[in-house]
Amino acid sequence: MSKTETARLMEAVRQAVLASGERIKADWDAPRDVRLKGRIDLVTATDLAVEEGLKEALARVLPEAAFLAEETAARTVLSGLTWIIDPVDGTTNFAHGFPFVCTSVALYDGQEPVVGCVNAPLLGQCFTAGKGLGAYCNGESIRVSRTDRPEAALVATGFPYAIRENLDEIMADLRVMLAETQGIRRPGSAALDLAYVAAGRFDAFYELALNPWDVAAGALLVAEAGGRVGSYRPDGPYCLGDFRILATNGALHAPMLALLAD
């Protein structure tokens, strides 16, 4: 895909995601229509409405592309051009009135990212990236931080819905990170955590048991902002659907891998 076509798609996605953010803002002060889809995993009417609206808008942008969307996903294997959508990343935050909430949309060709957008409408921050075109927040170029020591690093993480099944690993990693870094934050939206790594607000992010729609756009943002995204335990390239993800500013990648080693 040419850079001209990628730039066109990046702008079209940005416009579609910004429009969807108006629904999130409109629903913010309304009574929450919330139901459980797992023991602690929530879905709201806003999730469903935003996802449907995005699918309609993106189908007009690129009719030949398939969809992998959180609330209607029937598969997780990527093949060909695919829109990957998380309509409300941070649904639990949204349900409780905590504004660290975003929409994440990415276009992938198989496992190759093309464009990505993470929009936090309640914070007024829209992050975009295109393969080979860089990363941006509200139209301004962003770059990862230059922090190169764990003790100077602010690190983000998250806890999966399957927390009981992974509690020992989560607590072991958290114990190390609390002792060896400047601080740990757990805001509750992996897509926005990754966007903040891209913008240099966090120096690194790690988490396990995430879905493709949680990280597809954010991973491209980090890479296009000069950072590095990989797996850990084992160390290697990250593919959507891998069990563990580590995103850093690049300078911290090896030290973070060492802290997260078996």
Kindly write down the DSSP assignment for every residue of 129-197, as one continuous string: EETTTEEEETTEE--------GGG-EEEE---S-TGGGHHHHHHHHHHHHHHSSEEE--S-HHHHHHHH
CB of 107 within 8 A of CB of 160? no
Buried/exposed code over 201-219 (b: 16+ C-beta within 10 A; e: otherwise): bbbbbbbbbbbbbbbbbbb
User: Per the annotation, where are the binding residues?
Assistant: 70, 86, 89, 214
Q: Name the H helices within the chain.
A: 3-27, 45-61, 91-96, 167-180, 190-198, 212-224, 253-259
pLDDT one-digit tens code per residue, 14-42: 999 999 999 999 999 876 666 655 564 55
pLDDT at residue 39, as a whole number: 65
Number of other CB atoms surrounding residue 102 within 10 Å:
33
Per-residue model confidence as pLDDT tens for the chain (262 residues): 899 999 999 999 999 999 999 999 999 987 666 665 556 455 788 999 999 999 999 999 999 999 999 877 666 567 799 999 999 999 999 989 999 999 999 999 999 999 999 999 999 999 999 999 999 999 999 999 999 999 999 999 999 888 899 999 999 999 999 999 999 999 999 999 999 999 999 999 999 999 999 999 999 999 999 999 999 999 999 999 999 999 999 999 999 999 999 6
User: Per the annotation, where are the binding residues for Mg(2+)?
Assistant: 70, 86, 89, 214
Question: Where in the sequence of the chain do the CATH 3.40.190.80 domains occur?
Answer: 150-259
Question: Where in the sequence of the chain do the CATH 3.30.540.10 domains occur?
Answer: 3-141
Query: For 150-259, which CATH class?
Result: alpha beta
pLDDT one-digit tens code per residue, 195-204: 999 999 999 9
Residue 26, token pair as written in the block = 């409109």
> How far apart are the C-alpha atoms of 120 and 98, rounded to whole Å?
12
DSSP state of 240: T
CATH architecture of 3-141: 2-Layer Sandwich (3.30)
